[in-house]
Structure 1
Amino acid sequence: MGDLKLGLAQGYWSRAPQENFIEMAQEAEKLGYDSVWSAESWGNDAFTPLCWIGAHTNKIKLGTAVVQLSARTPTACAMHALSLDLMSKGRFILGLGVSGPQVVEGWYGQPFPKPLARTREYIDIVRQVLAREAPVTNSGPHYPLPYTGDDGMGLGKPLKPIVHPVRKDIPIFMGAEGPKNIALSTEIADGWLPLIYNPYDESMYEKSLVNAKPDFEINQMVMVNIDDDLQAGLLRVKTFLSFYIGGMGAKTQNFHKDLFVRMGYEAEADKIQQLFMEGKRDEAINTIPDEFADSISLIGSKARIKDRLQAWRDSRVTSLLVATTDKKQLRDIAELVL
């Protein structure tokens, strides 16, 4: 395994952006962090914060983890990527994912079915735009280019981007949770952005990653809390997990819950979802096993974290995306890893 790289995971906003999000990115750059990542849900978009960060930094890579496919057409997404990569002088990484049916159909008003086929078409179109070798066309059913529907005017013309890309090979990462989607990422993407990764037991992902190329990257967000109060640190991780398992998805289809089930926690997953939907969030949080929350995060004293970092170094993960808003924690992790 190679040396671990570090990134800063800024996630998506809740009520408003963190007041220090620019300072955190600048500090990460000074400390030798490789990248900084933004996200989107049904509030802020993922690209705009990176523009702001890119204007106030010089070398740190700028990644989306992740932009949602249904938020914009493939060519619109490629235009964002082209623009940001040009303005940042080749620092952009495009991370994208399908999201889930609640968001796709409830927020974007788009149909959710056939996410793998849509992803394949989407990334193919984005790569055509970035390559700028020929007018962009797509014969697939999800994103036909030019548009050929009966309700159109029949005047669509294949086009090449006016803008000349600074790089034709902007890295594309996929946010993926299901086995087939993860396997697809090894085929059509440059890297994978898991939601949950347990470095102490990688067996669940072995079959999905069997065709991964040697340079395939895995960038994992890790919640960090350097504090002697282990239980307080674990509570934050468990709160995050319970929200995804219990509240981010419909009762009949929740990819995050399905992932937790595949990891061996079916009874706990069912209970968390039930409690969450009954409004008993504290009880849902306490249903997450401490040992699981501990295995996917870096919590405890500096000495404890230094010891537990070895599992990540021995794993297939290539970058740890540190989720923190505290400069001291950012420095402490850099000292331990870099």
Structure 2
Amino acid sequence: MTADLKLGLNLGYWPASPPPGQLELVTTADDCGYASLWTAEAWGSDAVSPLAWYGAHTKRIKLATGLIQLSARTPACTAMTVATLDHLSGGRVILGLGVSGPQVVEGWYGVPFPKPLARTREYVDIVRKALVRDEPVTADGPHYPLPYPGGTGLGKPLKMILHPLRPQVPIYLGAEGPRNVALAAEIADGWVPIFYHAERGPKAYADALAGARPGFEIACPVTVSITDDVSAGLQLVKWTVAFYIGGMGARTVNFHYDLMGRLGYADEAAEVQRLFLAGDRAAAAAAVPDDLADGIALVGPLARIRERLALWRDSPVTTLLVGGVRDPAQLRALAELF
């Protein structure tokens, strides 16, 4: 159970162009006491540049990458980026990291995807070494060896020139599979799930989170739709779920599809995927169960959302990352519920 459930604003990544009005949402969240602001990246807008802009217009809200893709930057580059932004923001950065999936890693970044857990472990270790700045950074792992064991032979261990404002920036890992979540509980300060079900999530992830240290944070993205038409609000959530089950991954390798099975929706996910890949996206969205959409979101009038917040307070989630809200007045209304 979470004694003090916090709010975050989840902006995600941009579509074809920057969405209008985001700066007003950010400043409203800052004024209303939202704990954190989260940006993302896929194969379009990056996660860091918007945070630098928003950080210049805010005073207290934490600036979180949700998530930086490992394959987009070397661990040394990520450490430099985090140290720079942390100085600019006065120590407000949370570093969220994720491996993404093979379609993006190999199709967009042009690097191999295998061994995601081992790569993540090495990556986090190097970032932390660079930020602590105790000594020149070396690493002997197979994925990110430092210095590089080849090339000219002139590489040497280096220590970051910049002295980080904070040598221990919080690191959260985005993860879906049980082993990935267990890795987050072992080596990270927090976990960023996707499609965490308020009622089924605690049981589904209990074993994976058993090794989490005291103070471990769970920052959970939640689509919020404040509306009197609950059915219409759920339909928007269903479209997103159908897209991830059917389109964000291959037919044979799709982590989101696998997650639905662990939450108890294996048969339903198979039908959603079948319809989506057959080109009938409307039918795929309609095939997403109501209780699945309702369990991963907050939908309805404020009174209903207030009631359903009790489910989240009874879960191990520590921060709800509000997504889907485009009206500053609604952000204020949600803050009042907390």
* TM-score for both structures, normalised by structure 2: 0.98
1:221 aligns to what SS in structure 2? strand
Q: Give the match for residue 120 of structure 2.
A: 119
Q: Give the match for residue 254 of structure 1.
A: 254
Q: Give the match for residue 160 of structure 1.
A: 159
Q: Give the match for residue 290 of structure 2.
A: 290
Equivalenced residue count is 335
Instruction: Tell me the distance in 1 between the aligned counterparts of 2:298 and 2:138.
Output: 46
Instruction: Tell me the distance in 2 between the aligned counterparts of 1:72 and 1:301.
Output: 42
Q: Give the match for residue 100 of structure 1.
A: 101
TM superposition shift of 1:187: 1.0
Q: Give the match for residue 179 of structure 2.
A: 180
TM superposition shift of 1:268: 1.5
TM superposition shift of 1:295: 1.1
Q: Gaps spanning 5+ residues in structure 2: where?
A: none
Q: Give the match for residue 18 of structure 2.
A: 17
TM superposition shift of 1:273: 1.5
Q: Give the match for residue 139 of structure 1.
A: 140
TM superposition shift of 1:2: 2.0
Alpha-carbon contact 1:224-1:329 (below 8 Å) kept: no
Instruction: Tell me the distance in 2 between the aligned counterparts of 1:158 and 1:214.
Output: 34
TM superposition shift of 1:235: 0.8
Q: Give the match for residue 276 of structure 1.
A: 276
2:103 aligns to what SS in structure 1? helix
Query: In the TM superposition, what whole-angstrom CA distance separates every residue of 1:197-222 from its partner, at most 9, and x where no partner exists?
Result: 11212101000010111200000011
TM superposition shift of 1:36: 0.4
Q: Gaps spanning 5+ residues in structure 1: where?
A: none
Alpha-carbon contact 1:238-1:285 (below 8 Å) kept: yes
Query: In the TM superposition, what whole-angstrom CA distance separates every residue of 1:125-152 from its partner, at most 9, and x where no partner exists?
Result: 0000110101011000000100003xx1
Alpha-carbon contact 1:4-1:318 (below 8 Å) kept: yes
TM superposition shift of 1:271: 1.6
Instruction: Give the aligned residue type for 1:208.
Output: A
TM superposition shift of 1:20: 1.0
Instruction: Tell me the distance in 2 between the aligned counterparts of 1:16 and 1:190.
Output: 33
Instruction: Give the aligned residue type for 2:196.
Output: Y
User: Aligned ranges for residues 160-309 of structure 1 at < 5 Å?
Assistant: 160-201=159-200, 202-309=202-309
Q: Give the match for residue 64 of structure 1.
A: 65
User: Aligned ranges for residues 83-94 of structure 1 at < 5 Å?
Assistant: 83-94=84-95
TM superposition shift of 1:16: 1.2
Q: Give the match for residue 56 of structure 2.
A: 55
TM superposition shift of 1:58: 1.0
Instruction: Tell me the distance in 1 between the aligned counterparts of 2:236 and 2:259.
Output: 20
1:79 aligns to what SS in structure 2? helix
2:173 aligns to what SS in structure 1? strand
1:164 aligns to what SS in structure 2? coil
Alpha-carbon contact 1:145-1:158 (below 8 Å) kept: yes
1:325 aligns to what SS in structure 2? coil
Instruction: Give the aligned residue type for 1:271.
Output: E
The answer to whether residue 8 in structure 2 is matched with residue 7 in structure 1 is yes
Query: In the TM superposition, what whole-angstrom CA distance separates every residue of 1:158-210 from its partner, at most 9, and x where no partner exists?
Result: 00000000001100000000000000001110000000111212101000010
TM superposition shift of 1:320: 0.5
User: Aligned ranges for residues 308-319 of structure 1 at < 5 Å?
Assistant: 308-319=308-319
User: 134-143 or 193-202: which moved more?
Assistant: 193-202
User: 181-190 or 265-274: which moved more?
Assistant: 265-274
Instruction: Give the aligned residue type for 1:56.
Output: H
TM superposition shift of 1:18: 1.4
TM superposition shift of 1:288: 0.4
* TM-score for both structures, normalised by structure 1: 0.98
Instruction: Tell me the distance in 1 between the aligned counterparts of 2:303 and 2:266.
Output: 33
2:233 aligns to what SS in structure 1? helix
Instruction: Give the aligned residue type for 2:299.
Output: I
TM superposition shift of 1:291: 1.1
Instruction: Tell me the distance in 1 between the aligned counterparts of 2:277 and 2:292.
Output: 22
Instruction: Give the aligned residue type for 1:96.
Output: L
User: 261-270 or 212-221: which moved more?
Assistant: 261-270
Instruction: Give the aligned residue type for 2:181.
Output: I
Instruction: Tell me the distance in 2 between the aligned counterparts of 1:115 and 1:41.
Output: 17
1:223 aligns to what SS in structure 2? strand
Provide the identity percentage.
58
Alpha-carbon contact 1:225-1:329 (below 8 Å) kept: no
1:160 aligns to what SS in structure 2? coil
Alpha-carbon contact 1:224-1:299 (below 8 Å) kept: yes
Q: Give the match for residue 75 of structure 2.
A: 74
Alpha-carbon contact 1:122-1:143 (below 8 Å) kept: yes
Instruction: Tell me the distance in 2 between the aligned counterparts of 1:266 and 1:315.
Output: 23
1:320 aligns to what SS in structure 2? strand
Instruction: Give the aligned residue type for 2:297.
Output: S
